[in-house]
A and B are shown apart, each in its own frame.
Chain A
Amino acid sequence: MGLPVNGALDQYSARAANILVANHENAPLVEALAFDIAFVPSVDILIAATGARMTLTVAGAERPMWEPVPVAAGQEVRLSDMTGGMRTYVAVHGGFDVPELLGSCAPDSVIEFGQQFADGAAIPLNASTRAPVNPYFGMSLFNFDVAVPYFGDTAVIDVTDGPDIAEFAGTADRLFRAPYVVSTRSNQIGLRLTGDLPERATEGEMISRGVPVGAVEVPPGDELLVLHRGRGVTAGYPVLAVVTSTSLDTLGQARPETAVTFRHVSLEHASRDARAWRERLDQLRDRVATVFSCLGVEPCSAHAPTGRGTA
């Protein structure tokens, strides 16, 4: 198709948010990028906020992130003061009714698809399902004890060797010597980092090839480029290294000025981490299903997007 899969840059947080409200883990959700957001539902809803650390309040009372939180119609939900990370996700039980392209609602800035919400925007919900609203004001109904990732001023990012590492003969190791710093020119297409750059040993024009999400490249200029989910699917630069799928979540939360240390791992190590990531989400889904069935909350299996990523 010539288009990237796209979707949430921190897949673990986005999927956990959906799982916590008994949605399909790929259901559309809202991503708050660096700024505060507030909204008021017109019906009773169950929400979960995950990702970058923020203060979550419902009608002025503080509520936990990474847990399902009931909200009554008319109560204001506010997420403010992001203190670690870049992207906070908000899922609503039942999901949002939003336009999809090729089975995904994920924004794509290149083909100009997707929704960005401005002040005063209304987002339609799917057919409302009964939300469990806690009759005891101020008490949390749930405690799922989700494994919450750390987002801070430093990040350790695992990479495996890229298919074109030989093109950087003798300088590939520079990637691991000292931390790189995330530049403000980073976005959902790729992160740009400053530091001691490996150098291409070969010259000449490469033919365009498919590039994976996580590809580490050294394009012309003075920055390292790490491609993320919004990347163009083809490029003509050699791939020095590939960020592991679990470390891509961490990179998706790396703000400008974050000091990134790259760490070399084996493919076996990277595959093991990917399976452990899946097990954590599967176990969370099982715990949520057990608790919700006791409470009489219906899981939302109706909306299961076919292919691509999450909002």
Chain B
Amino acid sequence: MPSTAQYLMLSATLFAIGLVGVVVRRNMITVLMCIELMLNAVNINLIAFSYRLADLQGQVFTIFVITVAAGEAAVGLAIIIQLYRLRSTVNVDEVKTLHG
């Protein structure tokens, strides 16, 4: 059975990759995908500790995180569609009206 530490390592790797993607990519849709990746890394942590502590709390929280991720994806994608209609771009660095 893989130990909790191995799961935490894997989750840290996925989280770091997702974080790099959020900062590095220009395409807004890919940025949203990388956020989903980071949320998934958190879910791995919750499941690993749920097993380690023999407590269902972690699994219940994972379900809540998945729900929040679904809502976040829906609203984020709606914002991206609307932005594309207004600006004809999905690049993060070209949307800087608030920048002045």
Chains A and B come from one and the same complex: no
Point out residues on A near B: beta carbons under 8 Å: none
List the interface of chain B (C-beta within 8 A of A). Answer: none
